Amino acid sequence: MATAEFGKAVRRWRDQVSPETAGLAASGQRRAPGLRREELALLAGISVDYITRLEQGRASNPSTQIVEALARALRLSAAERTHLFLLAGLALPDPETVPTYITSSVQRVLDRLTGTPVAVYDASWTLLQANPPYVALMGDPPGPHDNERNGVWRHFLGHGIHAGRTPEAMRQYETSLVSDLRAAAAQYPADQRLRNLITDLRANSPRFAALWESGAVSRREAARKTIDHPRVGTLALDCDVLTVAGSDLRIMIYTAEPGTEDAERLALLTVLGTRTLVG
């Protein structure tokens, strides 16, 4: 059960993180140099009201997912993250569950690629964190408990993304998603959330169930995606995924060929998205 000390710690760390450090543009007069509650809520995918209640000691029993999201948004070190879990009365995640901790080196990648859409996913393709250009390109991420936050669930049972693919590319993409989830299930057998996700997909998506039962295996490769964006039109972008050794984090990066209309539209979208984010 979280104590008043948990709320005090969140508030103290929030005051120590500047908007620029968190990848946000500072705007307006600020009474303190740190993040506003609204900004922390945006970064963590948690409501402002819940953060207020946590800081004031009026909310108890935050989940592991909530504490992990706060640790990421506050840029906590490994030791500080451990301390936050202890204050929440929670044990650190089991090493046999899918890792969701974003290391400081990966965090620096997110913070420094300010003009490039970058997101970090875990081994089950659940979105952990996205920088402002990625949000501008793909839209606001769902909350930490929303199924849409998982890319496999979103593709087979949710709204998907507006990315054009040939039938062959679609088959390859779907097979790679199922293959990645199969590998994650084998590597992290103690992860109940992952087991629930697979059960849900097998029960409600005939396409996923067929691929799962077939035992199909495929490796994700670099892809070129055509995204129909409502604000800047169509963008043809390269999508590369880098895997972080030792943590199974996946860094997804979208880029455009320099000097093309796609590059110009992506740059415009980044500016428009940032203005919307901090306005």
Q: What is the mean pLDDT of residues 230-257?
A: 91
Q: In this model, does residue 169 exceed pLDDT 60?
A: yes
Q: At which of 54, 87, 120 does a domain end?
A: 87
Q: Which of 26-35, 148-157, 243-252 has the lowest mean pLDDT?
A: 26-35
- Average predicted confidence (pLDDT) for the chain: 86
* Residues of the domain holding 242: 104-168+218-278
- Of 93, 90, 74, 77, the C-alpha closest to 21 is 74
Q: In this model, does residue 275 exceed pLDDT 50?
A: no
Q: At which of 87, 116, 149 does a domain end?
A: 87
The whole-number pLDDT of residue 277 equals: 35
* CA atoms of 23 and 18, how far apart (whole Å): 9
The whole-number pLDDT of residue 278 equals: 30
The whole-number pLDDT of residue 61 equals: 83
- Residues 133 and 81 placed together within one structural domain of the fold: no
Q: Is residue 178 part of a domain?
A: no
Share of the chain above pLDDT 70, in %: 91
- Residues 22 and 47 placed together within one structural domain of the fold: yes
- Residues 126 and 19 placed together within one structural domain of the fold: no
Q: Is residue 13 part of a domain?
A: yes
Q: What is the mean pLDDT of residues 138-148?
A: 78
- The position carrying tokens 């539209």 is 265
CATH assignment of the domain containing 264: 3.30.450.20
Q: In this model, does residue 27 exceed pLDDT 80?
A: no
Number of domains making up the chain: 2
The whole-number pLDDT of residue 231 equals: 87
- Residues 153 and 30 placed together within one structural domain of the fold: no
- Residues 143 and 109 placed together within one structural domain of the fold: yes
- Residues 112 and 243 placed together within one structural domain of the fold: yes
Q: At which of 87, 121, 142 does a domain end?
A: 87
* CA atoms of 40 and 74, how far apart (whole Å): 8
User: Tens digits of per-residue pLDDT, 95-105?
Assistant: 788 998 888 88
- Residues 18 and 114 placed together within one structural domain of the fold: no
- Residues 127 and 249 placed together within one structural domain of the fold: yes
Q: What is the mean pLDDT of residues 253-265?
A: 94
- Residues 73 and 117 placed together within one structural domain of the fold: no
Q: Is residue 187 part of a domain?
A: no
Cβ(175)–Cβ(218) under 8 Å?
Answer: yes
More confident residue, 143 or 254: 254
215: which residues sit within 8 A by CB, 6+ positions away?
Answer: none
Structure token pair of residue 69: 């999201």
- Residues 48 and 117 placed together within one structural domain of the fold: no
Q: Is residue 93 part of a domain?
A: no
Structure token pair of residue 98: 């899918």
Q: Is residue 232 part of a domain?
A: yes
Q: Is residue 98 part of a domain?
A: no
- Residues 53 and 108 placed together within one structural domain of the fold: no
| Res. 259 pLDDT band, cuts 50 70 90 | very high
Q: Is residue 197 part of a domain?
A: no
User: Tens digits of per-residue pLDDT, 103-117?
Assistant: 888 888 888 888 899
More confident residue, 164 or 61: 61
- The position carrying tokens 């880098």 is 242
Q: In this model, does residue 279 exceed pLDDT 50?
A: no
Cα separations in angstroms, 58 against 1, 4, 5, 38, 66: 12, 8, 12, 18, 15
Q: In this model, does residue 203 exceed pLDDT 90?
A: yes
Q: Is residue 127 part of a domain?
A: yes
CATH assignment of the domain containing 67: 1.10.260.40
- Residues 68 and 139 placed together within one structural domain of the fold: no
